[in-house]
Structure 1
Amino acid sequence: MKSAKIIFWVSTTLIFLFEGVMPALTSQTEMAKEGIRHLGYPDYFGVMLTVFKVLGALALIIPQVPARVKEWAYAGFTFDFLSAFFSNWAVDGLKGATFFPLIVLAVLIVSYINYHKINDSKVKSLSL
């Protein structure tokens, strides 16, 4: 149980840093805006995506957020990472950087699995 908590917090903190803090600090840089344009998306899409990433990252990292909201955040990030992978693949082809969203998705999956290990054990102990 203790290892599940450690793995959960490490993986969730990584997601929080990559998907909450970094976009909040860098989304309005010219490099970030050009990245969105390069993929063929309008500028407002980057702003909208940043808002949702920050809110989702906060939902995952704050323990008091209801489980249903966390589930939606996990789902949203899954769609985001898969979409990023396919967008990069469609525009740039299969290169090393194309796979980065799938690596972050793997970290998200580790977080999700351990989130459920922790919560399922809480539910079992409450029902005893």
Structure 2
Amino acid sequence: MNMLNRSAGKARKITYWIATLWLSLGMLSTGIVQLMKIKEEVDVTLHLGYPIYLLTIIGIWKILGVVTVLIPRFALLKEWAYAGFFFAMSGAIFSHIASGDPVKEIFPPLLLLVLTVISWYFRPAERTLVTANR
């Protein structure tokens, strides 16, 4: 039985790190693009009805969120980072839907939303607020 627990624990850890690294790469790259105010990103932001200065705010918060999720400790701050990622990506999804965009525009934030949930759910006990038996 101990071997099964170790195997399950290892699978959880692998799932966590794969999701977390992909999430971090996605958030970091889009955060940089937003801070650089690449023309395509500016066009999408205006199309969705948001002011351009929002790109700076979201870009900075995404990069800070990535750092927070990746570094050890600071469990409460990690919860805030995950919540921020969740709200930003669900907001992006609904913004595209409300603007009548095609489904292909919804896929990138949906993927990041799914990675956020997977990373949060499979995070190791030492990265949670409450250490529970998982």
Query: Post-superposition, which runs of at least 4 consecutive aligned residues in structure 1 deviate over 3 A?
Result: 122-125
Asked whether the equivalents of residues 74 and 112 of structure 1 are also in contact (C-alpha less than 8 Å), the reply is yes
TM-score normalised per structure 1: 0.84
Amino acid at match of 1:35: V
1:8 maps to what in 2? 16
Asked whether the equivalents of residues 20 and 58 of structure 1 are also in contact (C-alpha less than 8 Å), the reply is no
TM-score normalised per structure 2: 0.80
Amino acid at match of 1:82: S
Mapped pair 1:111 → 2:119: yes
2:106 maps to what in 1? 98
Question: Compared with structure 1, are the counterparts of its residues 22 and 93 closer, same or farther at alpha carbon in structure 2 (3 Å cutoff)?
Answer: closer
Amino acid at match of 1:108: T
| Runs (5+) with no aligned partner, structure 2 | 1-8
- Residue 93 of structure 1 deviates from its aligned partner by 4.1
**Which has the larger helix fraction?**
1
- Residue 104 of structure 1 deviates from its aligned partner by 1.8
Aligned-pair Cα RMSD in Å: 2.0
Amino acid at match of 1:55: L
- Residue 99 of structure 1 deviates from its aligned partner by 3.7
Task: Give me the whole-angstrom Cα distance separating, in 2, the residues matched to 1:2 and 1:17.
Answer: 22
1:49 maps to what in 2? 58
Task: Give me the whole-angstrom Cα distance separating, in 1, the residues matched to 2:82 and 2:41.
Answer: 23
Asked whether the equivalents of residues 20 and 57 of structure 1 are also in contact (C-alpha less than 8 Å), the reply is yes
- Residue 95 of structure 1 deviates from its aligned partner by 2.2
Asked whether the equivalents of residues 82 and 101 of structure 1 are also in contact (C-alpha less than 8 Å), the reply is yes
1:77 maps to what in 2? 85
